[in-house]
Amino acid sequence: MSKQSVYPVSQEIWSKTLLTKEEYQAMYRYSVESPDEFWIEQAQRLKWIKPFSKVNDISFDKHDLHIRWYEDGVLNVSENCIDRHLEKRGNETAIIWEKEKESIGNKNETRAITYNELSSEVNRLANGLKSLGIQKGDIVTLYLPTVPEAAIAMLACARIGAIHSIVVSSCSAKALASRISDACQPEPMNAEDPLFILYASNSSENSKGVLHTTGGYLVYAAMTHEYVFNYQLSDVYMYGALCNGDTVVMPERDEYLSETRWWHIETNGAALPMLGIKPALIDESGSELTGVASGNLMIKDSWPGQIRTIFGDHQDFIDTYFSNSEGDFFTKKSARRDENGYYWLTT
């Protein structure tokens, strides 16, 4: 493998980060050495209708595999992303949308939606969904472009406890049919109630939908948004941002880029582990590798934002992500760990 290079972060950037290198190292050690205490603290980011009494119940045993976080806690995602911000940030911008230039004669057109306006729209649609008989636990498939109404629909579903499943516009008719067939006042939701089903962004009718749940997903989305994006109150960046009272930017579609632009996704990205994540490398025999090494990337133990299952096929979830090593989550990626502790994705 060719030598990889790490470029140091400038002092100007370091001075604006939420965590210094030393603070990250101390916080990371705490997150993996005292995970229950760490994730209890992170859960305090959210407004709970009923606080949880147990942080998790995890088993990676293939014969009884289950992942449960904050299981007896009760909350609502829509309330956390909208209602609790209204008193102090009601007139602040929640969503900025930019219309596709080609459709309006190459003129810029933007639309800004405040938290108060977002609340009104979400409540109106939530009541409309309820009037159609949609209720907690029903699956609502959303086939919308990147417009504010897509975010409004997601939050309206979360408000009444319906599970939303987003279908990308590139789906074929058969793939769309396959996903659909799988398919007010904030509804109190158990932390392990399903929040949404996410399908791979391809047109295959056999694409698998992974399921995320309410409490754990929102805790992890809020935490990663703050630390990964170095969130400041005036920043403009769906769930993590709104949960933290931030602003979401939604272009109607990505800019068209020249066909000469070189694309390379995922591989060769390098990072230190996120808080609470314990990565490991194993060889083909399943033995863990130490020090500088290359191998299959595993994650030891669970974290709140972990997917819970493949919708409709829990056995496939077990076979796909827990077949390579006992007690570890197989990411289906290969990686290299360097002498500085950085993990480089190689496939």
Domains assigned to the chain: 45-255 (3.40.50.12780), 266-347 (2.30.38.10)
Per-range mean pLDDT, top range of 37-51, 182-196, 210-224, 233-247: 37-51
State the average pLDDT over residues 204-214.
76
Give the alpha-carbon dihedral of 237, 203, 149, 89, to 10 degrees: -20
| Per-residue pLDDT reduced to its tens digit, 140-180 | 988 887 788 989 999 999 999 999 988 766 565 666 566 55
Computed over every residue of the chain, the mean pLDDT equals 83
Confidence tier at 80 by pLDDT (50, 70, 90): very high
State the average pLDDT over residues 217-230.
82
Give the position of tokens 């930017």: 249
What is the C-alpha to C-alpha distance for residues 214 and 188, in angstroms, rounded to an integer? 11
- Please determine, for residue 189, whether its predicted confidence score (pLDDT) is greater than 80: yes
**Over the range 92-129, which residues count as b (16 or more CB within 10 Å of their CB) and which as e?**
bbbbbbebebeeeeeeeeeeebbbbbbbebbbebbeeb
What is the C-alpha to C-alpha distance for residues 233 and 282, in angstroms, rounded to an integer? 41
What is the C-alpha to C-alpha distance for residues 207 and 155, in angstroms, rounded to an integer? 24
What pLDDT score was predicted for residue 1? 46
What pLDDT score was predicted for residue 259? 56
pTM score of the predicted model: 0.82
Kindly report the backbone phi and psi dihedral angles of residue 44, in degrees, each rounded to the nearest multiple of 5, phi listed first: -70, -5
Q: Which residues on adjacent β-strands are paired with residue 194?
A: 213
DSSP 220-256: HHHHHHHHHTT--TT-B--HHHHHTT-BEEEESSPPP
Between residues 257 and 331, which one has the greater pLDDT?
A: 331
Kindly report the backbone phi and psi dihedral angles of residue 330, in degrees, each rounded to the nearest multiple of 5, phi listed first: -85, 120
310 contact partners, CB below 8 Å, separation of at least 6: 208, 209, 210, 211, 316, 317, 320
DSSP 112-149: EEEHHHHHHHHHHHHHHHHHTT--TT-EEEE---SSHH
What pLDDT score was predicted for residue 183? 44
State the average pLDDT over residues 319-328.
79
The amino acid that residue 271 corresponds to is A
